[in-house]
Amino acid sequence: MQIKTKIARQENFTAKPRRLADIDYIVVHYTGNRGDTAKNNADYFARELTGQTSAHFFVDEREVWQSVPENHTAWHCGTKGTYYHPTCRNANSIGVEVCMLDARGKVRQGSIDLAAELVRELMQKHGVPVGHVVRHYDVTHKDCPAPMVQNPALWQAFKEKLMEDDNMKYYEKLTDIPAGELRETVQLLIDRKAIAGNGSGLHLSEDMVRMMVYNRRMGLYK
């Protein structure tokens, strides 16, 4: 997937980097604007001081633009005292804003489809299970993304797209993972509570596990 980049003003996200290994959730939002584009949102956050609001990615039906580096925290899913979700926070999540409405206020399915493609890539890159892909609503009960809150079937269809991979093998239990470096790496992340659970209900794809091994070899989990 081609991802274009225009980084937001530094004041619009945290200056101090975070560990990529801390990323445990992906939060889906919608911009709420009619007929907007990923680029004009990226341009806006690069130009304006927004008062501690930002997102890592903006998506429309044609393009994906990155606004905040993944190793920095964006302010996209709540502040202290506003959380409903027990563990998803800005600091351990990636925010994806979808340009979801056309000029008439109708849902842009193309934007949703491209957002699903992006989220699937981010899941594989960071080892995020599909159960940790949530709506902003699920984190703070804000009506966002409104079309997917008001029509839960639209959200369910999006989640199903994240699991569409006819040839991809998934590991549901630690013992399903081949013994050796693959299993040892997942066990390490379970022990460090980077992966929730005790070795069951994992739903990790082969690509996710391989990426974890590569990250470990690069020293990201030290």
Rounded distance between C-alpha atoms, residue 169 and residue 172, angstroms: 10
Give, as one character, the DSSP assignment of residue 138: H
- At 38, list the tokens: 């990923």
Q: What value does the CA radius of gyration of the chain take, rounded to a whole number of Å?
A: 17
* pLDDT at site 109: 95
* pLDDT at site 166: 47
Rounded distance between C-alpha atoms, residue 220 and residue 71, angstroms: 12
pLDDT tens-digit series, residues 103-140: 999 999 999 999 999 999 999 889 898 999 999 999 99
Query: Which of the residues in the chain have pLDDT under 50?
Result: 166
* pLDDT at site 201: 77
Global pTM reads 0.76
* pLDDT at site 165: 59
In order, the DSSP letters of the chain are ---EE-PPPGGGB-SS---GGG--EEEEEE---BS--HHHHHHHHHHS--SS---SEEE-SS-EEE-S-TTS-B--S--TT---SSS--GGGEEEEEE--B-TTS-B-HHHHHHHHHHHHHHHHHHT--GGGEEEHHHHH---TTHHHHH-HHHHHHHHHHHT--TT--EEEEGGGSPTTHHHHHHHHHHHTTSS-SSSEEEEEEHHHHHHHHHHHHTTTT-
What are residue 66's DSSP bridge partners? 5, 57
